[in-house]
Structure 1
């Protein structure tokens, strides 16, 4: 499915074209800081119920576009729909986050029975959003990268320093590799399905990549991401792929060169001047305002935005946060951010 040939500034930048001012969207821009989201969440009940209600998930995806006019809409879903489709049971407990059962630290991958139909509501959400978006708005799909998704599948929940998954990978690299391969295979199919349903570009979130030692980073972050990019690009050669390896730090140049992602997301700990010097020339970058600078507002926000804008004098750049927008973000500060970026 395509949405025509109208100019989309964000999509143009992801394909290597510089735009001034840069296009802007914010990670987690559809979420708890918006009163319209909180009202819909209260009506629908739990988070997973909202994700599985395609009409409601489409509405959540569209809410920040209506309010702010961002250049990109990000699909409202969750990275853990993949383990759910691979056969783990997924629940969200209030105040405690997601739970997956059975955790693979106690159960073999072979014991799971895949339920790919669990992804159908996501594809329907994509179709609904694609039909409703303003033509100039780029529609972004996403998935979690294999390492980050595996950390939840192994431990059954978010875990401090991802210790369970790291131990598993050292103790049984073949067994852990099988988990990574299963996630990668499912991710290619999942992202391909999103593209077929109407997204313009996709992002791979590796939120926990910074917890790995260099050799492990190469094995469990770079290598599987490179396989996903290669396979997805063979299926959809014109669809940009953003890689976001949070916490990668000095390993960013290797990640960019070896995964061959179309664009790379920078978290807030990365010096943007350094990134502009060391990353491949002309590779589009995304980021990397500290979410707490957005919370602070005022002069702190103004100076941080200016520093990022000046750091990329010639490189294609998508303005974004270095991670997700926080629930206590001020709508007035988001409006001010847009004024600063676009002025």
Structure 2
């Protein structure tokens, strides 16, 4: 007998009286158990590639907070890593990729798809341990966001290197986007086969593009992923999260055909409820800083979101990733507020 998964039910369009919840970056540095394991294992990439440890990290927030969804512990940059770029993390500075796609051509890279095998093993381990009523979320970075890192070799101000390349040589940039799409489809297919229930596409830098570029480099490649993945796995829901899209959210929802839409904290939930298609499941969109503040600020923000989405399928989440200095007690308070209203 199958067990109902409330979060998965919402992604399939079924409204719940109490919205299911999970938090972006819920497995991470705000948790003392994560910090202890990270100190034991060393670097971030080493932890991602150690499947038993990555599975433990994935399950830590479920054990502590009983969230409705577990999200795979990995990183969006495993895609360029599998495409042949070198990947490492500088302490306190973030990820680095080499060679950059400014200094090298895509054709010079030698793909190493086996670099994704530890991720699939992590999924199998989590799936075996996860309670049947919990939804298991896989993810990937969307092509535009991945391309910004591949071009610059790191995070970049306003994603200017990738935007310049896209204007200067759109054919070369399209070639890069197409290659990312192909690798991402296979990667997410592997995640679903290994055991995830749903997928989230993170387009963290979608907000840096003009409307025409947004159509070309965000909507079109995400639609390609959705169409190809849905052809292989028609029952697996896909969440799109175009951070910073703002007024382009309705166009994103229509153009990509995602099953659910993640909203960042800058979006007015009442406005989003009005402009988005009726019945489209939404996810979000508590400001991570309201969670840090706690108290009345947190209670007011939660109530505003709950009221705005009272008539549509809704997954309660943050508008972006939980921050390192978030008090554990405030996360516990949030869970109680969402599930009991007080």
TM-score band, normalised by the shorter chain?
Answer: over 0.9
* Residue 201 (structure 2) aligns with: 204
1:239: how far off?
Answer: 0.2
SS in 1 for 2:15: coil
Distance, in Å, in 1 between the alignment partners of 2:12 and 2:169 is: 39
Distance, in Å, in 1 between the alignment partners of 2:292 and 2:40 is: 27
Between Structure 1 and Structure 2, how many residues are aligned?
Answer: 340
Equivalent position to 2:215, from 193, 218, 224: 218
* Residue 58 (structure 1) aligns with: 55
Q: Any residues of structure 2 matched to 1:189-338 within 5 Å, and which?
A: 189-338=186-335
SS in 2 for 1:59: helix
Equivalent position to 1:11, from 8, 11, 28: 8
1:85: how far off?
Answer: 0.2
Distance, in Å, in 2 between the alignment partners of 1:128 and 1:25 is: 20
In the TM superposition, what whole-angstrom CA distance separates every residue of 1:178-206 from its partner, at most 9, and x where no partner exists? 00000000000000000000000000000
* Residue 71 (structure 1) aligns with: 68
Over the aligned positions, Cα root-mean-square deviation in angstroms equals 0.5
In the TM superposition, what whole-angstrom CA distance separates every residue of 1:268-310 from its partner, at most 9, and x where no partner exists? 0000000000001100000000000000000000000000000
1:58: how far off?
Answer: 0.1
Equivalent position to 2:160, from 158, 163, 170: 163
Distance, in Å, in 2 between the alignment partners of 1:91 and 1:169 is: 25
Distance, in Å, in 1 between the alignment partners of 2:210 and 2:125 is: 41
Distance, in Å, in 2 between the alignment partners of 1:36 and 1:136 is: 24
1:226: how far off?
Answer: 0.4
Q: Any residues of structure 2 matched to 1:176-187 within 5 Å, and which?
A: 176-187=173-184
Distance, in Å, in 2 between the alignment partners of 1:317 and 1:24 is: 9
In the TM superposition, what whole-angstrom CA distance separates every residue of 1:150-208 from its partner, at most 9, and x where no partner exists? 00000000000000000000000000000000000000000000000000000000000
* Residue 105 (structure 2) aligns with: 108
1:314: how far off?
Answer: 1.0
**Deviation beyond 4 Å, 4+ runs, structure 1:** none
**What 5-or-longer segments of structure 2 have no aligned partner?**
none
* Residue 153 (structure 1) aligns with: 150
SS in 2 for 1:288: strand
Equivalent position to 1:37, from 34, 37, 40: 34
